[in-house]
Amino acid sequence: MIEARGLVQTFLTGQGRKKTEVHAVAGVDLDVAEGEVVGFLGPNGAGKTTTLRMLTTLLKPTAGTARVAGYDVATQAVQVRRAIGYVSQVGSTFSGAYAGDEVVDHAMLYGMTRRAAHAKGQELFAQLDLEGLWRRMPKNMSGGQKRRLDIVMGLVHEPGLVFLDEPTTGLDPQARANLWEHIRGLRDRRGATVFLTTHYLDEADALADRIVIIDKGRIVASDTADNLKAQVAGDLVDLEVATLDQVAVAAERLGAIGEQLEVAERHVRARVPRAGRAVPGLLRDLDASGVALDSIEVLRPTLDDVFLTLTGRSLRDAEGDAPGSPESSELEGAGR
Ligand SMILES: Nc1ncnc2c1ncn2[C@@H]1O[C@H](COP(=O)(O)OP(=O)(O)OP(=O)(O)O)[C@@H](O)[C@H]1O
């Protein structure tokens, strides 16, 4: 559904002779199969939106090629646009008509009949908690309502490939959960392909079949969340040893199966790949060595751990790095 090779976008900023180059996207290869939900994750300014704008034909690549839904983004932009849905970060522009009419007009532009557009629009209004707002002008809606209306506009013509740029930013938890359900439904019920950008780690974890991480304009990882966590970070095993004199032996045993060993008083920690399998043997080993434990904790790595291992920076810290990125971070750690 998406096949990009060596995509590059270089912006020139500044005036006169003081022009500087911003390498927003610095050579991206991407392959997205039909029916996949791909989460495109990265800190502010990593190049997510710029990549999306090239894939949706809104921005001409400085270099590289991309085929989207079978069409070339540079030479077949009209065909690409007809085949996709796109919900941008800034939202849709509305003409000043009622919300429902905006949706119907938009769908008819894509060739739907008025009746079909109306039915699909009403269904989406119900699913996205916009019931009762069909005859409300978008300018008189709350931020969250307008965001959900954007999403209706992106989905109403039932595209087989949907691009969502930070779809749940600004939504309350209930609306986020509804939207997640809806995005899953797009794939499960209609076999749609979904490419969404986010900097909510829990969102990427919950929704995406595959996670592609971009940092400073380059793809640094692409795999399922589970594989990324297993390969890159390892689980954190934290042993609380019963007495201080047994800490050294515990550290030696844990160190034999793990990495990044740390000792803090009676706690011995290390990262252990697939700890679920390794821990039973470790416990037998400790027992045989006469080490008694007060507790043991096994923590699954987070996507932030993955990012940290790959780039040496936490996704949270990286949020402030990018030129021109806002100071505030919208990263959310809950539920990772
Ligand atoms: N029109 C432009 N002119 C100059 N620089 C730009 C332009 N658009 C984006 N950039 C820069 O390119 C880089 C990548 O921006 P982009 O919006 O793609 O990042 P992002 O990963 O989508 O970030 P966010 O999560 O904040 O939306 C940033 O450094 C940004 O400041």
CB 324 near ligand 1, within 6 Å = yes
CB 14 near ligand 1, within 6 Å = no
ipTM of the complex: 0.96
- Residue 295 CA, ligand 1 centroid: distance in Å: 46
* Last residue in a domain, options 174, 196, 229: 229
- Residue 319 CA, ligand 1 centroid: distance in Å: 12
Q: Pick the residue whose CA is nearest to atom 2 on ligand 1.
A: 11
220 shares its domain with 239: no
Decide if 331 is inside a domain: no
220 shares its domain with 82: yes
pLDDT band at 314 (very low <50, low <70, confident <90, very high): confident
108 shares its domain with 150: yes
Decide if 280 is inside a domain: yes
* Mean pLDDT within 151-169: 89
CATH number at residue 260: 3.30.70.100
73 shares its domain with 151: yes
* Last residue in a domain, options 229, 245, 279: 229
* Mean pLDDT within 298-303: 87
Decide if 309 is inside a domain: no
CB 11 near ligand 1, within 6 Å = yes
- Residue 25 CA, ligand 1 centroid: distance in Å: 9
What pLDDT, on the 0 to 100 scale, is given for residue 65?
96
281 shares its domain with 225: no
- Residue 89 CA, ligand 1 centroid: distance in Å: 12
248 shares its domain with 195: no
Q: Pick the residue whose CA is nearest to atom 6 on ligand 1.
A: 11
CB 45 near ligand 1, within 6 Å = yes
Residue 24 pLDDT > 60: yes
* Mean pLDDT within 50-60: 94
Q: Pick the residue whose CA is nearest to atom 28 on ligand 1.
A: 45
Which residue is associated with the tokens 């390794």? 278
Token digits of residue 164: 């969502």
130 shares its domain with 264: no
pLDDT band at 238 (very low <50, low <70, confident <90, very high): very high
What pLDDT, on the 0 to 100 scale, is given for residue 80?
93
CB 25 near ligand 1, within 6 Å = no
What pLDDT, on the 0 to 100 scale, is given for residue 219?
95
259 shares its domain with 171: no
CB 199 near ligand 1, within 6 Å = yes
pTM of the predicted model, to two decimals? Answer: 0.79
Task: Please identify, by atom number, the ligand 1 atom nearest to the C-alpha of residue 25.
Answer: 14
> Cα–Cα distance between 97 and 135 in angstroms, integer?
9
Residue 325 pLDDT > 70: no
Task: Please identify, by atom number, the ligand 1 atom nearest to the C-alpha of residue 199.
Answer: 25
What pLDDT, on the 0 to 100 scale, is given for residue 317?
64
Q: Are strands 20-32 and 37-41 parallel, antiparallel or unpaired?
A: unpaired
- Residue 123 CA, ligand 1 centroid: distance in Å: 35
Instruction: Tell me what the pLDDT averaged over the chain comes to.
Output: 86
User: What is the DSSP code string of 127-148?
Assistant: HTT-TT-TTS-GGGS-HHHHHH
152 shares its domain with 290: no
Residue 252 pLDDT > 90: yes
Decide if 252 is inside a domain: yes
Q: Which residue has the higher pLDDT, 333 or 317?
A: 317
Structural domain total, the chain: 2
Residue 214 pLDDT > 60: yes
Domain containing 216: what range?
A: 2-229
* Mean pLDDT within 303-315: 80
182 shares its domain with 279: no
Find the range with the poorest average confidence among 96-110, 133-147, 174-188, 281-295.
Answer: 174-188
CB 192 near ligand 1, within 6 Å = no
Question: Which tens digits make up the pLDDT trace of 60-73?
Answer: 999 999 999 999 99
- Residues in Cβ contact with 197 at an 8 Å cutoff, skipping those fewer than 6 apart: 39, 40, 41, 42, 48, 49, 52, 164, 165, 166
* Mean pLDDT within 251-270: 94
Which residue is associated with the tokens 């690409």? 80
Residue 4 pLDDT > 60: yes
What pLDDT, on the 0 to 100 scale, is given for residue 334?
32
Find the range with the poorest average confidence among 44-58, 229-243, 286-300.
Answer: 229-243
Residue type, 204: A
What pLDDT, on the 0 to 100 scale, is given for residue 318?
60
CB 130 near ligand 1, within 6 Å = no
* Residue 262, helix vs strand vs coil: strand
Decide if 98 is inside a domain: yes
Question: Which tens digits make up the pLDDT trace of 103-154?
Answer: 999 899 888 999 999 999 999 998 888 899 999 998 898 877 888 898 899 8
